[in-house]
Structure 1
Amino acid sequence: MIAQIHVWSDYVCPFCLIADEMIERAITDRPDIEVVHHAHELRPRPTPTLRPEDPYLPDIWDRAVYPMARHHQVPMRLPTISPQPYTELAFKGAQYAAEQGRAHAYHRRVMTAFFREDLDIGDRAVLARLAEEAGLDPAAYAAALDDQEYAERHRQALAESARMNITVVPTIVIGTRRINGVATEGVIRRALQEAAAA
């Protein structure tokens, strides 16, 4: 029986990449675990996105992101794209990727592209290339970005996030346990054990 880890995240949240890495390590020998990714836009349109040349991002990275990333040995760096991209388009693509059975590969590719390769994940051409690298047909993916069906699915995903009262990303749900923020490998494994015993 496949057990699930549900994760609410945003592609421009550095703590979400760290959480992803912790989950990957915790389930490396667990083919019976499925990770299900859910959308939560930190700054949906028309809210302005952040700029790396302003004081906030370098400060939070120096005080919190880099120390946590080093502690958990997760390579990443503050992206230089300014302003930071909106993630609505990438999330629409995620709906298409899920339909094609490539949701996890797509999620990982988009997340690492932003925080390890400094790629603009708000750019359609960049997203199509990443989708292809995640095993998707780039032309079909590009068409999906303009398909209202996937836009509606994304709206429904955001509505679900609101119903779940998601206010922090990452938020990780395993069984009945809800973890706000990054969870260590040990915490994830224990939550999986508790869920299996319930």
Structure 2
Amino acid sequence: MTLTVKVYSDYVCPFCFLAEKPLEEAIKDKDVKIEWMPYELRPYPNETLKPEGDYLQTTWKQGVYPMAEQMGIDIVLPKVSPQPYTHLAFEGYQYAKEHGKGNEYNDRMLRAFFQEEQDIGDIGVLTKLAGEIGLDQDEYRKALETRKYKETHQQALKHAYEEANITAVPTFVIGDEVLAGVRSKDTLEETINQQLEKHQNTNLQNLFSEGMSCGIDGC
């Protein structure tokens, strides 16, 4: 049985981008599926952050850049100011997910923002990026302009905020374990292996306990 790892993230969270690499390494050659879950840190109409502000400058200097250097990942504080809202990008994610490219889309959005400094709040930019991963640009753009996936995205946010009780990103939900923040490949792999073993044991228990009986001809 495939183990699903749910990753709650926002496209303007640098630590969500940094979390990709160790996760990919941890699931290699394992029966694991990654599902990226939308989470808006600053949904409209809340003000988004400005890269020239003291808060982001300090966070990046003291936390993001040292971690990225240690992990060997290229990342830059995007000059897009103020930072974009991510609801349109996430509505596009629902379209991409429906067309079997959810994880590829998620990666493209993060790289576009944190390595190429593209404005992922702009429909034109989003449409171009969608086309780069093989999605139909006309259909994708129409979906965003008509807000076709607005309700689906709002339901995803409601789940994250109210049902899963997520308060920070990235957050990993691996089976019945919840890990908040960037985690090392070793930590993720250990947790994944434990959950895979637990699933396997549960399946075996179900196999040998449900519906077993003896008949008049023996067992």
TM-score of the pair, normalised by structure 1:
0.96
Off by >2 Å, runs of 4+ in structure 1 = 27-30, 146-149
SS at structure 1 position matched to 2:88: helix
Post-superposition shift, 1:148? Answer: 4.2
Unaligned runs of 5+ in 1: none
**Number of residue equivalences:** 197
| Whole-angstrom CA distance in 2 between matches of 1:6 and 1:174 | 7
Distance 2:172 2:153 in 1: 19
Matched ranges for 1:51-130 at <5 A: 51-130=50-129
Asked whether the 8 Å contact 2:91–2:147 carries over to 1, the reply is: no
Paired amino acid for 1:52: P
SS in 1 for 2:145: coil
Cα distance in structure 1, aligned partners of 2:73 and 2:27: 16
Q: Distance in 1 between matches of 2:132 and 2:195?
A: 34
Per-residue Cα deviation, 1:99-151 (whole angstroms, up to 9, x for no partner): 00100000000011000001000011110111111221111111111344410
Question: How far apart, CA to CA, are the structure 1 residues paired with 2:146 and 2:35?
Answer: 23
Bigger radius of gyration among the two: 2
- How far, CA to CA, are the matches of 2:113 and 2:153 in structure 1? 20
- Could you tell me the TM-score, scaled by structure 2's length? 0.87
Distance, in Å, in 2 between the alignment partners of 1:134 and 1:3 is 26
Structure 2 gap segments, 5+ residues each:
199-219
Q: Corresponding residue for 1:3?
A: 3
Give % identity: 45
Match of 2:186 in 1: 186
C-alpha RMSD of matched pairs (Å): 1.0
Amino acid at match of 1:178: V
